[in-house]
Structure 1
Amino acid sequence: MDAFVTGIALIGLTGIGAQWLAWRFQLPAIVLLLVFGVLAGPVTGVLQPDQMFGDLMQPLVGLAVAIILFEGGLTLNFHEISGTSKAVRRLVIVGATVAFLLGALNAYYIAGLSIWSAVIFAGILVVTGPTVIMPLLRQASLAQRPASLLRWEAILADPLGALIAVLFYEIFLVTTGAHHLEELAIRGVFALVLGLGGGWAIGQLLVRLFIGGHVPEYLKVPVILVTILAAYAVSNLVLEESGLLTVTVLGVALGNSKLASLTEVKRFKELMTILLVSGVFVLMTASLDLATLAADLDLRALAFLVVLLFVVRPISVLVATIGCDLPLKERFFIGWIAPRGIVAVAVSGYFAGLLMSRGVEDGGRLTALAFAVVVVTVVAHGFSIGPLARALGLSAGGGTGLLIVGSTPFSVALAERLKSLEIPVLIADRNWHRLRRARAAGIDTHYGEVLSEVAEHSLPLSSYSYMLAASDNDAYNTLVCTNYGPEIGRANVLQIRRDVTEQGETEFAVTLGGRSFLSSVGGYGALNSRLQEGWKFRATRLSDDYGPEDFERDRPEDTANVLVRTASGRLLAGPSLKAHSLKSGDLLLSFGAPGTSKQPESEPAQG
């Protein structure tokens, strides 16, 4: 028991520690998870999963994979598929089919896997995981269209790989005599009925119970989690190894329901997925035998990787996008970027164990090949996505921009100055008339409600490192910042507060809203009034000849710092700006009265 508890604690600390370090130093999380797992397992022997967990290891991995696949199914929304572009639908349907067929041939003829290992592994590799794609898109700051295509492909194709792997594993059981054909049909029908029926029943039950006030709100997510585990267990109990398909279908059913609480469910499953994929990855990495791994990764494995990167992916994308209105450079770019993530390793390891238990000797190679695919694709695509995007003219500015919600005189003036400095900026508003001035100034705009589900997927968030809620409604600003805080970062969502009245201002809870923006000047009314009084935005380039001390000496009274673009191109605003020590090379944007400033104002960038 002590070894079991110690093992769980070590896996948790190792996995989340690697995730935090990856975030802190802007590194691919999967690379650190791999390094930490190898150090904890094969190198030092501190973590020995086989001894710590024994016969429980396979069931634990199975439960984790079940929840991961439920999460993938939850993201597959049929309404969203119908609303996406033709290119996305073809990437998901045609591209995935071509990638599976070519991948199976690659695994069979080049890697030398047996036919069943090859088709199951090819199914798993169809997926380009959203958990890997999203950070890369933020890192590269792609233009809206290629970023949208890659993002939607990852989201919609996420559950397909597991479904293909499960389907062919079931067919394998039939061909080997473990199950009969009619049993396969029964499994499929049973999984669909239990998944769809369970999803519908949970949705109806929760709606009725919560409307009637029979169940407290805080039990909603636990009920769904327990239902996932129960569906997995019952499905496996009635028909062996049908649980994965059941929970995936259950996720699809819930994801397409009208359940009002899906937002909370999705955020919870995202947290669970981070914990589980990190834990499973560390667990499986620590279980590796380095000698066996080195033996499995031979020249044939190297050739398999080369074909996967330079033949399978490019051809599948080129075929899928025939007839789509996409420039060749975008097709080429999308055909290169296809990183696989932790889910591929977790699912591969699970099926490797199942195949080996059924007498498929080379099933164990799936784990080694999956590790190789993940590491090679994450490193190759992670380090090349930025330079390649810039070389092809598909970069949107390095992810250093500002997304402004609310078109007002102040926000438009700020956006105009940012545009002159070639800092990406976009103004979103749900009122078409209010966007008129921004459109006339040539500023990028988004017409629509930013709190809608459509906006969360259509807004090019990867191009902007900060969001500013600048409407005249303080409660709306707070709601916008609260909604986008988890996506952009709590410290990176800013809002203009309302002006303090004589009775004082009622503060929102510290967990709501964003960080106050230019609070030293005042709220919404004060900022727009200062603009009418002649206050303006001034950009100052600090240098060895004109440093921070000179700027502080010459700045007009009451001038407020808005943001800084460092010499390396990083944008700093809000708390990050306050914590930053100004230095030579920084471009400082301030807002203040015209006065008789002696500051050497930076010239607007020339397009």
Structure 2
Amino acid sequence: MQEHLVFSITLIGVVGIGAQWLGWRFNLPAIVLMAIAGLFLGPILGIMRPEETFGDFYQPIIAVAVAVILFEGGLQLRLDELRGLGKGVRRLVFPGVPIAWLLGAGAAHVIGGLGWSASVLFGGIMVVTGPTVIIPLLRQAKLSSRPAALLKWEGIVNDPIGALAAVIAYEFFFAPNTGEHDLTTAQLAASLLIGSVLCLLEGIAFGLGIARAFRKGWVPEYLKPPVLLAAVLLCFELANLLQEEGGLISVTAMGVTMANAKMPSINQLRHFKENIAVLFVSGVFVLLTANLTPETLMLLDWRAGAFVLAMLFVVRPLTVWIATIGTGLPWQERALVGWIAPRGIVAVAVSGLFAAGMEQRGDADGEMLVPLAFAMVFATVLLHGFTIAPLAKLLGLASTRPPGVLIVGSSPWSVKLAEKLKELDLPVLISDASYRALRPARQAGIDTFYGEILSEVTEHHIEFVRYGYLLALGGNEAHNALVCTDLAPEMDRATTYQLSMQGTEDSRKGISYSLQGKTFISEKTSLDTLLQKHYSGWTFQFTRLSEAYPPDRYRAALPTEAMIVLVVRRDQLLFQSAEQRLELTVGDRVLAYVPPGTGTKPKEEPSQENRSPEIEALEERKRAALEKVGG
């Protein structure tokens, strides 16, 4: 039995994380891959049956995972960022959430065939739109800032609200069935209200207490992540003692409180919780899918399909159009937001948590919640994932240009580089905390951002989805490394570069390689070095390689001290770095930084088929003259 349990845990972990990796590797929705993997392990191949394997631990495992996932979601919610988004997000929360809850409950009862109690519960769960699914879709579609912000923050805010709605519905309809209490509706409502408020206050108190302990230095840095995880679990269990499933309210409130407590180490804690949440998301998703049976899947008849269609084409669009009346949003943005609403792990996990409780109380509708939730996840992730980019382009809400370059650090050298990048018709933005340093960039007509790139409000002013490459070109190597470390999760570490001042990581003065981006150009290329060359008259030069002017001839003509900066290859930018030297191929367009002086500038020779008659005649006269002299 013990060996079988260990095998099941190992299999769930390997399959879940493997699905996450495949989703990243092939740009596929990981949530769908995890669900497919779980279906193969459970109802299709019958390799495992989690509810039988884990027994009494099955429901607690799901409950703890949901608690950590909701806490991590709350930890992303910074209230100061919401204030800058206008009425859009506020209206999507209220009256958007009540409208979506009411319409979703009606669709679940009338079309899906659930009883009213289960319909109200499931309608609350379906309010959740899943930030873990939406954010990768936004990055893929390259949406403009306002619709992207609306979808992102609606998902983050509605995550805990949807869970709260489900808790309230569950407590109201199913908790009284235990037979321990005989309460009137008014008494039950008052009990729920008081219990919810107490759970909310407990979560806030835990958040403030942990934030204070961390600020005061009462907990060492290396113990902060495990202390935080233990505090989350303690908060969750204490709230559950106050009110059944009230822990979901408490951990969400705790996360939101800590996110807004101005903690200096919040980013490191947020990354740790993201990692823990990924593990739980992977495990729980496979666990819930594998627990389905062929008999349960057979319950997904035409009514389930009709319910999914109603949620997609009636409930969501109608909710958004009603909620955004008077907000001033153009119809294109309302149409896009009205279509995009993918459900994610929270919807499935909360459904699984309450379904288990409903089945224990003998409610037949409980076995339908998880299959319906999975049906919604599959339909929304697939349909919205494949349609968001073309729909956004059709509505004029997405950039059709290739990914641009974000340059952090304004200097005469970086401005000249930005001018060359603009020749490629790419979005280029130079950011600097010095308004004076940005003056040459403004004069050159380059987009600029004045402010600290690491500020929490930066993402309100910079559309990060427009940029696929980061160049940290400031004179402070520590700041460059901090920028790369902070923005790598947003920009992708593979396309994050920085200047190095001290050389290799073996230098006692150098910064650890693990904290840096890729070393731009070479180990010994600092900003001071580049500025000296700039004031000595060095210039940037593009050269197109061809069959007539292959890479070997180009390198032979290139001065020894010249630097290859980047290569444009099939609309892709490949920057030179110390970690990976560029291999040039025919068809590349090479940008080099070359010294002044005649004869040092490599030139592309015209191919034979492109030579004009005048050039051919001149070459013929040269050959004739040489032959005459030789004779």
TM-score (norm 1): 0.90
CA distance in 2, matches of 1:164, 1:5: 36
1:572 aligns with 2:574: yes
> CA 1:60–1:423 in 2, change beyond 3 Å: closer, same or farther?
same
Q: Which of 554, 558, 563 lines up with 2:561 in the alignment?
A: 558
Cα distance in 1 between the residues matched to 2:116 and 2:137: 33
1:410-451 C-alpha deviation (Å, 9 max, x unpaired): 222222222221122211122223223323333222222111
Specify the alignment match of 1:129 in structure 2: 130
| CA contact 1:481–1:493 (8 Å) conserved in 2 | yes
The match for 1:284 among 267, 272, 288 is: 288
Question: Separation in 2 of the partners of 1:315 and 1:577?
Answer: 52
Q: Distance in 1 between matches of 2:218 and 2:523?
A: 48
**Residue number among 603, 610, 618 corresponding to 1:598 in the alignment:** 603
SS in structure 2 at match of 1:511: helix
Deviates more, 1:28-37 or 1:451-460: 451-460
Which residue pairs with 2:618 in the alignment? Answer: none
Please name the residue that 2:252 is paired with. 248
Contact 1:139 1:399 in 2 (8 A): no
Q: Identify the residue that residue 84 of structure 1 maps to in structure 2.
A: 85
CA distance in 1, matches of 2:263, 2:502: 38
> Could you say what secondary structure the match of 2:431 adopts?
strand
Give the aligned residue type for 2:66.
V
Distance 1:92 1:275, change over 3 A: same
Please state how far the C-alpha of 1:248 moved relative to its aligned partner. 2.3
Task: Give the conservation status (yes or no) of the 8 Å contact 2:178–2:361.
Answer: no
Q: Indicate the SS of the match to 2:592.
A: strand
- 1:214 to 1:521, Cα distance in 2 relative to 1, 3 A: closer
Matches within 5 A, 1:467-478: 467-478=470-481
Deviations 1:282-311 (A, max 9, x none): 001111123431x22222222222222222
Q: Is the 8 A contact 1:554 1:599 kept in 2?
A: no
1:423-438 equivalences under 5 Å are: 423-438=426-441
Select which of 463, 469, 473 maps to 1:466.
Answer: 469
Q: Which residue of 2 aligns with 1:192?
A: 197
Offset of 1:580 from its aligned partner? 6.4
Letter in 2 for 1:48: R
Q: How far, CA to CA, are the matches of 1:398 and 1:5 in structure 2?
A: 50
Tell me, in whole angstroms, the C-alpha distance in 1 between the residues paired with 2:578 and 2:510: 22
Aligned to 1:415: 418
Does the 8 A contact of 1:137 with 1:147 survive in 2? yes
Aligned to 2:168: 167
Quote the Cα distance in structure 1 between the aligned partners of 2:347 and 2:471. 37
**Alignment match, 1:605:** none
Query: Counterpart in 1 of 2:591?
Result: 589
Q: Paired residue for 1:495? A: 498
Partner in structure 2 of residue 533 of structure 1? 536
Change (3 A) 1:86 1:343: same
**Whole-angstrom distance in 2 between the partners of 1:121 and 1:534:** 69
Q: Does 1:5 align with 2:2?
A: no
Q: Which one-letter code corresponds to 1:31 in the other structure?
A: V
My pick for the range that moved more, 128-137 or 575-584, is 575-584
Shift of 1:131: 1.0
Per the TM alignment, residue 500 of structure 1 is displaced from its structure 2 partner at its CA by 6.8
C-alpha change, 1:244 and 1:556, in structure 2 (3 Å) is: same
Match of residue 151 from structure 2 = 150
Q: Which residue in 1 is equivalent to 2:610?
A: none
Residue 407 of structure 1 aligns to which amino acid in structure 2?
Answer: S
8 Å CA contact 2:503–2:523 kept in 1: the answer is: no
Q: Bigger radius of gyration, 1 or 2?
A: 2
Q: Over residues 501-528 of structure 1, what are the superposed CA-to-partner deviations in whole Å (9 max), with x where a residue is unaligned?
A: 9xx8821112222221122772102223
Do the aligned partners of 1:428 and 1:447 also contact (CA within 8 Å) in 2? yes
In structure 2, distance between residues paired with 1:576 and 1:24: 25
Residue 518 of structure 1 aligns to a residue whose secondary structure is coil
Deviation, 1:12, is: 0.8
Distance 2:268 2:74 in 1: 16
Deviation for aligned residue 1:40: 2.0
Name the amino acid aligned to 1:98: I
Match of 1:230 in 2: 234
Q: Is the 8 A contact 2:431 2:448 kept in 1?
A: yes
What TM-score results when the alignment is normalised by the length of structure 2? 0.87
Helix, strand or coil: the match of 1:404?
strand
**Cα offset, 1:401, TM superposition:** 1.8
**Partner residue of 1:604?**
none
Q: Which residue of 1 aligns with 2:48?
A: 47
Matched residue type, 1:260: P
Mapped to 2, the partners of 1:576 and 1:11 lie a distance apart of 39
In structure 1, what is the Cα distance between the partners aligned to 2:143 and 2:51?
43
Residue 352 of structure 2, aligned match among 349, 352, 355: 349
Equivalent pair of 2:168/2:192 in contact (CA under 8 Å): no
Q: Which residue of 1 aligns with 2:398?
A: 395
Unaligned runs of 5+ in 2: 607-631
Report the equivalent of 2:26: 25
Q: Which runs of 4+ in 1 moved over 6 A?
A: none
Deviation of residue 48 (structure 1)?
Answer: 2.4
Shift of 1:587: 4.0
Report 1:65-76 matches (<5 A): 65-76=66-77
What RMSD, in angstroms, separates the aligned Cα atoms of the two structures? 2.8
Report what 1:106 is aligned to: 107
Deviations 1:526-569 (A, max 9, x none): 223333334333334455565544543444443433333432x4
Cα distance change on mapping 1:335 and 1:566 into 2, 3 Å: farther
How many residue pairs get aligned? The number is 596
SS of 1:562's partner is strand
CA contact (8 A) 1:521 1:527 kept: no
The Cα shift of 1:147 comes to: 2.0
SS at match of 1:471: coil
| Cα-to-partner distance string for 1:302-345 (whole Å, 9 max, x where unaligned) | 22222222222222222233233333222222222221112221
Distance 1:182 1:225, change over 3 A: farther
Question: Which stretch of the first structure deviates more once superposed, 244-253 or 4-13?
Answer: 244-253
How much has 1:170 moved relative to structure 2? 1.5
Say whether the 8 Å CA contact 2:71–2:252 is kept in structure 1.
yes
Residue 273 (structure 2) aligns with? 269
1:238 Cα offset (Å): 4.2
Q: d(CA) in 2 for partners of 1:273 and 1:323?
A: 38
Secondary structure, counterpart of 1:153 in structure 2: helix
The Cα offsets for residues 223-266 of structure 1, whole Å up to 9 and x where unpaired, read as 22112212222232343333222322332333333433322322
Q: CA, structure 1 residues 284+201, in 2 after alignment: closer, same or farther (shift >3 Å)?
A: closer
What secondary structure sits across from 1:538 in the alignment?
A: strand
